[in-house]
Homo-oligomer: A and B are copies of this chain.
Amino acid sequence: MSCLVVKFGGTSVATIERVMHVARRIQKEKEKGYDIIVVVSAMGKATDMLVDMAHEIMPNPSKREMDTLLTTGEQVTSSLLSIALQSLGLRAQSFTGWQAGVLTEAVPADARILDIQPENVRDALGRGRIAVVAGFQGVDDKNNITTLGRGGSDTTAVALAVALGAKRCDIFTDVDGVYTSDPRYVPKARKLQELSYDEMLELANLGAGVLHPRAVEYAKNYNIPLAVRSSYVADEGTIMREEVEVEKGLVVRGIAFKSDIIRLTVSYDANYNGSLANIFTILADSHINVDLIVQTIIEGVEPSVSFSIIKENLADTIRVLEENKSKLGYSHVHIEENLAKVSIVGSGIVSNPGVAAKMFDRLHRENILVKMVSTSEIKISVVIPQEAMLHAANALHDEFELAASLAIQA
């Protein structure tokens, strides 16, 4: 029988009432004839409560002990949901990470899954049981309990789907799919029926926030269809696959945006002849993520390099630059705050050379100043003044006719 992995996040299981709702939802999927593996997060604020208790003892508790502490949250949900399924007359069995054979690196708090040995899960499915697996957790080779870091339950779901050869992995959440843009700020945004893993990765990294990039990468690497669906609305949601049909004339599939971007420009004397790349090595060593980079070397002009960072990293970045000033040999640093990044994402961008021009032209017509540009095969990002962010996002959403295709589909 073909199997389906379904994952429910913390808000979907925040109360016993919602756990019952999820159980009935699973019952419907089970009635379609699939073997079902459910992956669950901790109930609502359970994880926060556990973190608060530990912080009441000390500000920086051991990561190993935090992992042992926090994984109880998902374990509680897995047993309660199993009981809820049993109360509907279904057979169900809970699994902790180690019971489900989720083997990880020995890296507390942010382990990657190394292997899944799903014999026990497969055995339960063989007995007609729904397997309810605690997400976000695994076990290392020394039998320490580990956690997978942010978005970890999504990764558990995809990894189990891969290990069990599932037909699909459905991530049930409080949104009903992936949108062409954030509908809170781009009123014409519409739900996408499908998109490619790479498009989702760009959207996820750009802050669309629906799925964790690691889970999408995992699905892409093993080519597992991955769907984002609503816990509350009966609807197919958005499905991610390797190859997706480019909807009629639609080269751009989504518009992402992010505020609180800062541009730093590091300038050197005109006669400086070292490498401008040293700065990025030093920042990387300090775990500071640099996003867009623009380098200017014109003969006779002071060489400079500009890069964007997120606001949270500003203090660290300044400190690292000052500590390394003599080593780097720059003359001064200029900081520009209140910027935003707006990106267009679509698999069709690489094969449509006019896309970038169309984007810049529209921004120009809207009187939006482009401060930095970065392009990839499926993405073009611009850094612009923050006050123009939503204006730009809506204008580009119109420009690339993302709303219009809704009419075509209807």
Contact = CB atoms under 8 A, between A and B. Distances in A.
Given A54-B80, A83-B54, A96 B61 contact: no
Contacts of A62: 82-83, 86
A98 B98 CA distance: 10
B80 A53 contact: yes
A79 interface: yes
Contacts of A65: 79-80, 82-83, 86, 94
Interface string A49-67: 0100110111001101110
Contacts of A66: 79, 83
Interface in A81-120: 82-84, 86-87, 93-94, 96, 98-99, 120
Could you say which interface size class chain A belongs to?
35 or more
Nearest to A61: B83
Contacts of A145: 96, 99
A80 B57 contact: yes
A143 interface: yes
Which of A56, A76, A79, A145 gathers the greatest number of chain B CB atoms within 10 Å?
A79
A44 to B, nearest CB: 12
Interface in A26-80: 50, 53-54, 56-58, 61-62, 64-66, 68-69, 71-72, 75-76, 78-80
A404 interface: no
A3 interface: no
Interface of A: 16, 19-20, 50, 53-54, 56-58, 61-62, 64-66, 68-69, 71-72, 75-76, 78-80, 82-84, 86-87, 93-94, 96, 98-99, 120, 142-145
Given A75-B75, A99-B144, 17 more contacts: A16-B57, A19-B57, A20-B57, A53-B76, A57-B84, A57-B87, A61-B83, A61-B86, A66-B83, A68-B75, A68-B79, A69-B79, A71-B75, A72-B72, A98-B98, A99-B143, A120-B143
